[in-house]
Structure formats: C-alpha cells, structure tokens
Amino acid sequence: MPDPARFPRLPLLGLPTPIEPLAGLSRHLGKALRGVRLYVKRDDLAGFGGGGNKLRKLEFLLAAARAEGADTVITVGALQSNHARLTAAAAARSGLACELVLTRTVPRGDADYTGNGNRFLDALFGARVHERPGETDALAAAEARADELRAAGRGVYVFPSGGSSPVGCLGYAACAREILDQADAMDVRFTNILVANGSGGTHAGLAAGLSELGRDPRLARSYTVLAPLDWAVATTLDKANATLDLLGTGGRLTEAEIDVDGAHRGPDYGIPTDAMREAVRLMARSEGLLLDPVYSGKAFAGLLHDVRSGRYAAGEAVLFVMTGGVPGLFAYREAFAED
C-alpha cells in the first residue's frame, strides 16, 4: 500500500501531535453531553510561526519546492490567512524567500483586521506582501509574479490557497494513519474525526488517507467555513481523488463518501457568528485553549450543535482536530467587543 512517507518531507511540526480528552469542557456541558466522549488533536501546537495545521501540508510542499531547486515560494490567501503566515514562517526557517498575494476577501476595514494578527506576522517573518482587492484571482496573480521572478533567474514554486494541492494534501493523508495509531494505543475508537473545511485540503487528505488504509472515509467529517455546501463537497472530493491519484493505488471516492456540514458557515467566509463567539469563549473558559474565529471557531460551534442535538450516542468518542490560527483572534478583537 503506497504511503505518503515515501514522498520528500521537511519536518516542521514535531509529530505526532497529542490527542487529549476535553475534560473541562465535558464537566461544563454535563448532562447535555449525554455520555459522549470528546477529544482534541492538538495540531495547533508547533515550535515556530504561531502554530497550526498548515505545517503538515508545508512539510511536503517545501520539500517539493526544494527538490525543484526553488529559492522562492509564493502563496495566496485572504488578508488574515493562517496558511500565508505559516508559509512565511516556514520559508524563513528554510532559507527561502517568500511572497504572498493576499486579497481583501472579508469586508472588514478596522485597524485590527488590516494590520494586526496574521497580517502583522507576515511582515515580521520577512515575506513580501502584495495586497489585492477581494475579487482578484489571487492564484493567477501569483503565477504572473512567479513568471516575473523566473525571467529574472529565480527558482519559484507556487502553493495554492491553503496549501491544498495534492502534494499538500499528503500531510493529512499521513495524519490519518497517525490518528488511527494513536487511537489504537489509547484503546479508543473514534466515531468521527472533525475538521474545519476552508480550501478543502485537510478533509480531502484525511479522506484519502483513511481510504488507503481500508477505513471508511466518512470517518472524516468537516464543517465548511469558506464555500457554500455544494462547492465545498465538490472541491473536497476533487482534491481527495487527486491525492489518491498521487498515491498511485487507483482508489476513487464518490460524493457520498465526503461528509460536509454546511449549516455553520454563517453569512459568508470570515464573518463572525454568535455560535462561533460562544464556541471560542467556551473552549477558552473550560479548557484554556484558543480557537480561531474563522476556521476552528465555526467548526467547533458545529460540534457543539451536534452534541447538544443528540447526533452522537452515549459512549461514542469524537475527535476534533484543533487547527490553530490563534493570531487571527487579535484581528477579530472588535468582533468580540461588539457583544
């Protein structure tokens, strides 16, 4: 069975990341939990860059860039992109130049959003930032900039939004095996592995990895925070199958095997919801853990809804992948002060 480990990989995250019970949250929820066991996988932990799950993808992406002789990496995202921030940090650590094409996708113009959080750290890590209007085709702009640099003799590797290319998705294909190995060691069988779905790569990688291990890909379940439901499902399916193609076993997934919940996105990407604010506060006040307001905050709000509504039966074990993005909290200070 092909293994993501056969692909070039640059260690960045410090693996495996721990799985911990959410004991404080469970005490807080009390009878509302109905005997469901909640766990968190701490992919927010990392020794540099502010931490976050994008490092799993960057381990493979940066190794691929190095293998191609690149001296510069370029990626894209919204103004408060966690992926862009971690690309800048990982590039600095790896001795590569980094450029970011960031779009004003979210209609916020306050000083915290435009100059604090990830946007502040991008510059601190030494990235050259190109800000563009929200309607810009950021990837096309990145490719055009790459052509300029190549014409000047530079070696350039371009990462898509979220690092969610088939190479980047290998990070979470490998994570699927890591989670299953940890579950076996803990003598726990998880009913679902829950993640936020932005660019789709985290869910796609998990689904592909589970499929290659002979497990039901629906064990991975996501909450879309970026795209409408139909688009999120289609994109995640395409990326999962592209990852399987890269692994080379001929496996294919169907739409029915991609489980995405579209009920907790709110009015649009990056727009706060009351449920997100409640989830962020609850995790902070019961566990001392920080969710980000754009991705894991909305996904955790979905988990809380599912638990409270009785989706899971007593005794079931549910794993939430905590993907990081803490710097984004500082960009959304006004969204919490609005209460």
3-state secondary structure of 98: strand
pLDDT at position 13 is: 86
Half-sphere exposure of 45 (CA within 13 A, CB side): 12
Average pLDDT over residues 200-204: 98
Query: What total of structural domains would you count in the chain?
Result: 2
The predicted pLDDT at position 206 comes to 98
* Residue 339, pLDDT above cutoff 60: no
Q: Kind and range of the H or E element at 56?
A: helix 54-67
- pTM beyond cutoff 0.85: yes
Residues 209 and 327 in one domain: yes
The DSSP code sequence of 100-140 is: EEEEE-S---SHHHHHSHHHHHHHHTT-EEEEEETTS-HHH
Say which of 26, 81, 211, 286 is annotated catalytic.
Answer: 81
Looking at the fold, whether 121 and 80 belong to one and the same domain comes out as: yes
- 161 is an active site residue: no
Q: In the listed set 163, 194, 219, which residue is the last one of a domain according to the structure?
A: 163
Read off the pLDDT of residues 253-293 as tens digits, 9 standing for 90 and up. 999 999 999 999 999 999 999 999 999 999 999 999 999 99
Q: The domain that contains 59 carries what CATH number?
A: 3.40.50.1100
Summarised one tens digit per residue, pLDDT across range 102-133 is 999 999 999 999 999 999 999 999 999 999 99
Structural domain including 186 reads 4-52+165-337
User: By the 8 A CB rule, do 260 and 228 touch?
Assistant: no
